[in-house]
Amino acid sequence: MPIARMNDEVLESEWLIAACSSDVTDKPVQTFILGEQLVLWRNGQGIHAFKDLCIHRGTALSLGRVCNDALVCPYHAWEYSSTGQCIKIPAQPPEMTIPMKARAQAYKCKEQYGFVWVCLGEPSAEIARYDEMHDETFRTIICGPYTVPAEAPRIIENFLDVSHLMWVHEGFLGTPSHAQIPEHHVHELNGKLVSDTIRIFQPDPDGRGKVLNNDYVYEILRPTTVLFRKSDDTSSDIFSIMLIVTPSKERETTAYMLLSRNYGFDMDDQIFIDFQDKIFSQDLAILESQRPEELPLDLQQELHLKSDRLAIAYRQYLTKLGVKIGTVRP
Of the candidates 94, 119, 144, which is a domain's last residue?
A: 119
What tens digit of pLDDT does each residue of 232-261 get? 989 999 999 999 999 999 999 999 999 999
Same domain for 102 and 173, yes or no, is: no
What pLDDT score does 3 carry? 79
Q: Can you give the pTM of this predicted structure?
A: 0.96
Same domain for 199 and 66, yes or no, is: no
Same domain for 174 and 67, yes or no, is: no
* Total of domains in the chain: 2
- Alpha-carbon Rg for the chain in angstroms: 22
Same domain for 114 and 166, yes or no, is: no
Whether the predicted pLDDT of 141 surpasses 80: yes
| 115 falls within a domain | yes
Same domain for 190 and 272, yes or no, is: yes
The secondary structure element, H or E, covering residue 270 is: helix 269-289
CA distance 286 to 121: 33
Same domain for 25 and 87, yes or no, is: yes
Question: Which amino acid does the sequence have at 101?
Answer: K
Cross-strand pairs, 186: 195
| 126 falls within a domain | no
In 3-state terms the chain splits into helix, strand, coil percentages (rounded to 5) of: 20, 35, 45
CA distance 67 to 64: 10
Q: What is the CATH number of the domain that holds 317?
A: 3.90.380.10
HSE of 157, CA atoms in CB hemisphere, 13 A: 27
Longest CA–CA span in the chain (Å) reads: 79
Contact between 247 and 152 under an 8 Å Cβ cutoff? The reply is yes
Same domain for 73 and 193, yes or no, is: no
What pLDDT score does 233 carry? 87
Nearest to 315 by CA among 181, 127, 228, 301: 301
Nearest to 86 by CA among 128, 57, 116: 57
| 2 falls within a domain | no
Q: Give percent of the chain above pLDDT 70.
A: 99
User: CA 70 → CA 45, 86, 161, 268, distances in Å?
Assistant: 10, 9, 46, 39
What pLDDT score does 330 carry? 84
What tens digit of pLDDT does each residue of 86-106 get? 999 999 999 999 999 999 999
Query: 303: Cβ–Cβ under 8 A, 6 or more apart, which residues?
Result: none
What range defines the domain where residue 115 resides?
9-119
What pLDDT score does 2 carry? 67
SS3 of 104-147: the string is CCEEEEEEECCEEEEECCCCCCCCCCCHHHHCCCCEEEEEEEEE
Question: How large is the average pLDDT for residues 163-169?
Answer: 98
Nearest to 163 by CA among 151, 176, 152: 176
Contact between 238 and 231 under an 8 Å Cβ cutoff? The reply is yes
What tens digit of pLDDT does each residue of 104-136 get? 999 999 999 999 999 999 999 999 999 999 999
Q: What is the CATH number of the domain that holds 39?
A: 2.102.10.10
Nearest to 181 by CA among 168, 170, 197, 192: 197
Whether the predicted pLDDT of 85 surpasses 70: yes
What tens digit of pLDDT does each residue of 250-300 get? 999 999 999 999 999 999 999 999 999 999 999 999 999 999 999 999 999
